[in-house]
Chains A and B, each alone.
Chain A
Amino acid sequence: MHLRSSGGFLRNYSLKTKTFVLLACIVLLATLPPGLYYVTTIRALAHLGASERIDETLSWALDHQSAGAGRAAAALALKEYRQVLVLRESIVRQVVLFSIFYTVFVAALSLTVGYLFVARITRGLVNLTEATSLLAADNPLYKIESTEGGEIGRLINAFNTMGERLVQARQEKIMAERRATWQRVARIIAHEIKNPLTPIKLSTERLYDKFLNNAADFPQVLQSTTGTILSEIENLQKLVDTFHKYAKFPDPVLRLEPIREVVEETCALFGTEAAIAVDLAPDLPSINMDKGQIREAIANLVKNAVQAVEEAGWRGEIRVRCAVVGDYVEIAVTDNGCGISVENQKKLFQPYFTTKIHGNGIGLALTERIIHLHGGKILCESEVGSGTTFTILLSTKGPYHGQDTRC
């Protein structure tokens, strides 16, 4: 089941930022409009009753009152009116100033408290996100210590449980893969050993039979069966040497060598065995490498290409291209053979993995190891029925630095 997650204009920001922005919008909406309305109203009130005619009328009344209580009352009224006019402006100014600062203060306080609150409630999720990233990056289990309750607390508990199970599942998978690899290796070795054993057994039985029956052709049989036995023993020896070579592969001895020469020499090894088109860029540099190992790596790829077009059964085309791309020398071996399925591409560089009838699954594993030791990369692009391209990337800058290679 897929859940669609919508983005929005804040999609690249953290949950804390988003929540804080939401809070800020609410605070501003809650404080600014009433604040503005309040200030506008107060300022309007400042002009209420401000009329020169009132002053003139009160002065006239004062002048025309006869002496006594009436005149004193008129004088007081005029005094109070003028006092109001003067003090009202100051009071309004004070109120406006106070209102503005109070609004700003309340907004700032709300945002500060809100920020702390948001930081508090999103802390669990932030921890959860980090732990999930660590777990996704194949790190050891990162258990979240939390005293959170509610949904986030349950989520963290669920994550911890899930993490434990995931780590357990990973360990089981690694064990299963290791077991499967050993089984495959054992099967291949058994098969490879069994092949020469059968002719050895048959030859020995035949020789024994001839010897018991004092056969007249015993010397000839002895000669031919001994030849067969020795030949098969030699095959067995080669098999053991191949496995031994992979198991104890030496570190490369790096020297500055012209890559052009290495590619040309390697392709020439195949002579007329296959039609190989070699396309070498004119500006190829010398790079730090173990010439013998790189030659072996390229040879393995070319050999694979030759076998791929042979298995396909149609007229094969093999192309070896070498050029400088950025800081790398790129060596691409392309064939139009039967191609490799996506499933098999994932296992290409596993030792002893092969899809060939007579293969031992060492060639590509060895090639990958050589390139890895040279700090390079090996890539594979393939389509079933169309062909395959293996690309080696070797750095033109300095010695190897050991990087992962991927298909």
Chain B
Amino acid sequence: MDFIVGLLIAVKSLVFMGGYIAPDRVPVKIADMQVLLTRDDVRVRCTVANAYSGELRKLAQSGTPILLYVFAEARQVRKDSLVSNAVAENKLELDLVAKQYRVTRSAGQDTVVSPNLDSALAATARCSGLAVLPKEKVQPATSYYFVVWAVLGKTRVEALANKEIDLMYFWRYNRPTLKTEPFKGEQFLASTK
């Protein structure tokens, strides 16, 4: 009986949980993480490295929209409680008629247009200035840390009778996550005084 249960678990983890998906096995990760201070808030900037495997590139070349979400949370160290959070949506889509890649980024509220796939992908993978912690929520004596993670969204595929597929499949349902070192609240407040 143990053998059967073990086999079921193996089949489930390997097939349904996307154990082996794509030949590109380089792990996706959050890189170049920076914490920025503005007059009103604390922002994070990062890049999702190795986000686009060979198949995702091909999918992008087909004109299928690729949706990347970057989530950021500011948390109190002592209570480990959520203080505030934010999400950025980066959308990449090829206009087959114009042969232009269009990257729409919600965080910076900007749009990048490029005929080159690599530069479009690089723009999609970058998250600039995601306002995660308003300064009015910062207390000087409290320490904070930031957690950032990225996920791919679902996209509609015309070739599959307009069904949606979960692009996380291409990341083997692994969510790259990064947690920063703690910051003192006074650091955020002092620098803008």
A→B interface (CB under 8 Å):
62, 71-72, 75-76, 78-87, 89-90, 93-94, 97-98, 101-102, 104-105, 108-109, 112
Tell me if B55 is interfacial: C-beta within 8 Å of chain A.
yes
Bound complex: CA of A79 vs CA of B158, how far in Å? 8
Find chain B residues with CB under 8 A from A84 CB. 159
- Give the contacting residue for B159; candidates A80, A90, A104, A112; CB below 8 A: A80
Q: 5 A-B contacts, Cβ less than 8 Å apart?
A: A83-B157, A97-B14, A97-B20, A102-B11, A112-B4
- Give the contacting residue for B62; candidates A71, A83, A90, A108; CB below 8 A: A83
- Least CB distance from A81 to B in Å reads 8
- Give the contacting residue for A83; candidates B4, B8, B22, B159; CB below 8 A: B159
Given A79-B96, A104-B7, A108-B4, answer yes or no on A86-B15 (Cβ-Cβ < 8 Å).
no
Find chain B residues with CB under 8 A from A83 CB. 59, 62, 64, 157-160
B→A interface (CB under 8 Å):
3-4, 7-8, 10-11, 14-15, 20-22, 55, 58-59, 61-64, 96-97, 157-160, 165, 169
Bound complex: CA of A104 vs CA of B59, how far in Å? 32
Most chain B CB within 10 A, of A82, A89, A93, A102, is at A82
Are A79 and B62 in contact (CB-based, < 8 A)?
yes
Find chain A residues with CB under 8 A from B14 CB. 97, 101
- Give the contacting residue for B11; candidates A89, A101, A112; CB below 8 A: A101
- Least CB distance from B155 to A in Å reads 10
Bound complex: CA of A283 vs CA of B54, how far in Å? 88
Bound complex: CA of A72 vs CA of B21, how far in Å? 32
CB-nearest residue of chain A to B20: A97
Enumerate the 3 nearest inter-chain pairs by beta-carbon distance, A residue then B residue, closest first.
Answer: A82-B62, A83-B159, A79-B63
- Least CB distance from A64 to B in Å reads 12
Are B96 and A90 in contact (CB-based, < 8 A)?
no
Given A101-B11, A105-B11, answer yes or no on A86-B4 (Cβ-Cβ < 8 Å).
no
- Give the contacting residue for A101; candidates B15, B97, B158, B169; CB below 8 A: B15
CB-nearest residue of chain A to B165: A87
Tell me whether chain B's interface is mostly helix, strand or loop, or mixed.
helix
Are A90 and B22 in contact (CB-based, < 8 A)?
yes
- Give the contacting residue for A75; candidates B4, B63, B165, B169; CB below 8 A: B63
Are B97 and A80 in contact (CB-based, < 8 A)?
no
Find chain B residues with CB under 8 A from A78 CB. 62-63, 96
Q: Taking A82-B64, A86-B59, A104-B7 as given, write out 4 further A-B residue pairs in contact, using a Cβ cutoff of 8 Å, ordered by the A residue number.
A: A79-B96, A84-B159, A94-B15, A112-B3
CB-nearest residue of chain A to B63: A79
Are A101 and B62 in contact (CB-based, < 8 A)?
no
Find chain A residues with CB under 8 A from B8 CB. 105
Bound complex: CA of A105 vs CA of B63, how far in Å? 39
- Least CB distance from B52 to A in Å reads 12
Are B15 and A98 in contact (CB-based, < 8 A)?
yes
Find chain B residues with CB under 8 A from A102 CB. 11
Most chain B CB within 10 A, of A76, A83, A112, is at A83
- Give the contacting residue for A87; candidates B3, B15, B157; CB below 8 A: B157
Find chain A residues with CB under 8 A from B22 CB. 90
- Least CB distance from B2 to A in Å reads 11
Bound complex: CA of A71 vs CA of B59, how far in Å? 21
Are A93 and B63 in contact (CB-based, < 8 A)?
no
Find chain A residues with CB under 8 A from B62 CB. 78-79, 81-83, 85-86
Most chain B CB within 10 A, of A84, A86, A101, is at A86
CB-nearest residue of chain A to B12: A101
CB-nearest residue of chain A to B61: A82
Find chain B residues with CB under 8 A from A109 CB. 4
- Least CB distance from A63 to B in Å reads 9
CB-nearest residue of chain B to A94: B15
Are A86 and B96 in contact (CB-based, < 8 A)?
no
Are A82 and B158 in contact (CB-based, < 8 A)?
no
Bound complex: CA of A109 vs CA of B65, how far in Å? 43
Are A71 and B97 in contact (CB-based, < 8 A)?
yes
Bound complex: CA of A203 vs CA of B82, how far in Å? 134
Find chain A residues with CB under 8 A from B11 CB. 101-102, 105
- Least CB distance from A88 to B in Å reads 9
Given A79-B158, A84-B159, A97-B15, answer yes or no on A108-B3 (Cβ-Cβ < 8 Å).
yes
Find chain B residues with CB under 8 A from A97 CB. 14-15, 20
Are B55 and A89 in contact (CB-based, < 8 A)?
yes
Are B20 and A93 in contact (CB-based, < 8 A)?
yes
Bound complex: CA of A89 vs CA of B23, how far in Å? 11
CB-nearest residue of chain A to B8: A105
